[in-house]
Structure 1
Amino acid sequence: MTVAANAVTLPLGGYRPKHFLLSVVDRVATITLNRPERKNPLTFDSYAELVDLFRAAAKDDSVKAFVVTGAGGNFSSGGDVHEIIGPLVERDMPGLLAFTRMTGELVKAMRACPQPIVAAIDGVCAGAGAIMAMASDLRLGTARTKIAFLFNRVGLAGCDMGACAMLPRIVGQGRAAELLYLGRTLPGEEALAWGFLNRLVEPDAVLAAAQDLAREIAGGPTFAHAMTKRMLEMEWAMSVEAAVEAEAVAQAVCMQTKDFARAYQAFAAKRQPVFGGD
């Protein structure tokens, strides 16, 4: 994996990335892909820096949830044609494999990150941008959202960055096959009907709605949310019997947290619990 030169060493609230915008407010970190004149494409450097950020998030207790969005009315057009696709044509097989493994590290980092990730998707959401949306935990979109897994359009397979594993889990096998074989655009309303989007919001409100949702998550039991995310990931590879047992262990661990006791005490006192994340 290529590591960004300015790998994250500070708490996320004090970190200033070079290749996207980052703000932390009310325990929610908002990542904004910020090349609006090109519809926010990804580059070698932005891939690496995003990986570093999500890896660092596992050690940052001050951030409880993420929002990922794009500037200028689009989410992301995917890998930059000139800065990524062009150079790849000149690489040998080891170099190509190094690149595809590096892009896959972004999905791995997003899924391993304990904080839930909410994607705020407006406009174009294509290629690796669609993969970032897919790798998020929740997705809010607009009627003008255009999601497209475009890999076949450039002569590549649809099996990119985990799409063949994750997309069928979200929309179903047949629908995933349609999107990956055809590379067609999935508009916002259809994406909602298919279950790719959790809800539709007006374009000028989608980021605020995603941040509100992230703040609601951030106000919950942080350790338990991380456990839920981990089990959602693990249980796809388990039998039902193994999953039930794994959840028994996971829930017993959560019952040892102070948040579990806080919730009981608040219930007994007829008030809302205030979770501390421990």
Structure 2
Amino acid sequence: MITLPLADYRPQHFALKVEGKVATITLDRPERKNPLTFESYAELRDTFRALRHEDRVKAVVLTGAGGNFCSGGDVFEIIEPLLERDTKGLLDFTQMTGDTVKAMRACPQPIVAAVEGVCVGAGAILAMASDIRFGTADAKVAFLFNRVGLAGCDMGACAILPRIIGQGRASELLFTGRVMGGEEAERWGFFNRLVAADALVEEAEAMARRLADGPTFANGITKKMLHMEWAMGVDEAIDQEAVAQALCMQTEDYHRAFHAFANKSKPVFEGN
């Protein structure tokens, strides 16, 4: 059970730091390159679900410890036990992992992924499901599913990845499972920017603070519309954006921005 405020919560399967309006989640099994387990999947899912009701946290950073982001599902703690499950047990697992991505996309806070070193399998999915991705030149991103005999359509990859890097490039990565290096990932648009390793988390947290200091109610609407409009035609999207923008025009932040502009000062947003 996730307790609120999130600053008081002590997760069992990753590290969590809340400073001001920014929460930093660090996958923290560096000796194994931060693999995921059944328990860490569930706790990540529950944490991102809790963020929907957390008013104090306005932006999130997701990263890994020890020079790597995430090596995917733990071979001996996930992959081997799955060999013994029946169809229902397997579906329970795949739906839980998918629910983790759903929770990341549904929480209103922007998620900034800070990706260094190994970022493969489910780790690549977590980076993909974030809103903004900073990486290092030596990052190694791979959607490895076909290399273990599985389809590339895992946890929303076939829906989300083409929208980030394009259909052809996504098809290549999902069919081959090959590694995409950091510079290629930045060139293809998977990474928003490349950052030196020793400044990676600092830069990601700086971006998160910048977002957290913005009109966060409106940021949440932007994230929701970016997600919803994948399944809309252009006319429907324009109509829905008209409703969303009219709602934002009723916020105090909108009024603060006008009065600050009129007074030639910088607006101080409060997220309401």
Which whole-Å CA distance do the structure 2 matches of 1:236 and 1:108 have between them? 14
Output the amino acid matched with 1:216. R
Q: What do residues 94-141 of structure 1 show as CA deviations (whole Å, max 9, x unaligned)?
A: 100010000000000000010000000000000000000000000000
1:98 to 92, 100, 104: 92
Partner SS state of residue 245, structure 2: helix
Could you tell me which residue of structure 1 aligns to residue 260 of structure 2?
Answer: 266
Residues 1:219 and 2:201 are matched in the alignment: no
2:21 touches 2:212 (CA, 8 Å); kept in 1? yes
Partner SS state of residue 211, structure 2: helix
1:171 to 165, 170, 176: 165
Using the size of structure 1 for normalisation, the TM-score is 0.97
Residues 1:87 and 2:57 are matched in the alignment: no
Which whole-Å CA distance do the structure 1 matches of 2:141 and 2:28 have between them? 19
Runs of at least 5 residues in structure 2 that lack an aligned partner in the other structure: none
Q: Which 4+ runs in 1 deviate beyond 4 A?
A: none
Q: What do residues 218-241 of structure 1 show as CA deviations (whole Å, max 9, x unaligned)?
A: 000010000000000001111100
Considering only aligned residues, what root-mean-square deviation do their CA atoms show, in Å?
A: 0.4
Q: What do residues 62-105 of structure 1 show as CA deviations (whole Å, max 9, x unaligned)?
A: 10000000000000000000000000001000100010000000
2:4 touches 2:54 (CA, 8 Å); kept in 1? no
Residues 1:71 and 2:62 are matched in the alignment: no
1:53 to 47, 51, 62: 47
Identity of aligned residues (%): 69
1:40 to 34, 45, 63: 34
Output the amino acid matched with 1:240. V
Which whole-Å CA distance do the structure 1 matches of 2:154 and 2:246 have between them? 37
Q: What do residues 239-272 of structure 1 show as CA deviations (whole Å, max 9, x unaligned)?
A: 1000000000000000000000000000000000
Aligned residues: 272
2:185 touches 2:191 (CA, 8 Å); kept in 1? yes
Output the amino acid matched with 2:194. L
Partner SS state of residue 90, structure 1: coil
Output the amino acid matched with 2:114. A
Residues 1:233 and 2:227 are matched in the alignment: yes
Q: CA deviation at 1:10?
A: 2.5
Could you tell me which residue of structure 1 aligns to residue 152 of structure 2?
Answer: 158
Which whole-Å CA distance do the structure 1 matches of 2:161 and 2:52 have between them? 25
Which whole-Å CA distance do the structure 1 matches of 2:45 and 2:138 have between them? 28
Runs of at least 5 residues in structure 1 that lack an aligned partner in the other structure: 1-6
1:149 to 139, 143, 146: 143
Q: CA deviation at 1:11?
A: 1.0
2:15 touches 2:26 (CA, 8 Å); kept in 1? yes
Which whole-Å CA distance do the structure 2 matches of 1:52 and 1:99 have between them? 15
Output the amino acid matched with 2:77. E
2:108 to 106, 114, 132: 114
Which whole-Å CA distance do the structure 1 matches of 2:48 and 2:6 have between them? 10
2:6 touches 2:54 (CA, 8 Å); kept in 1? yes
Partner SS state of residue 62, structure 1: coil
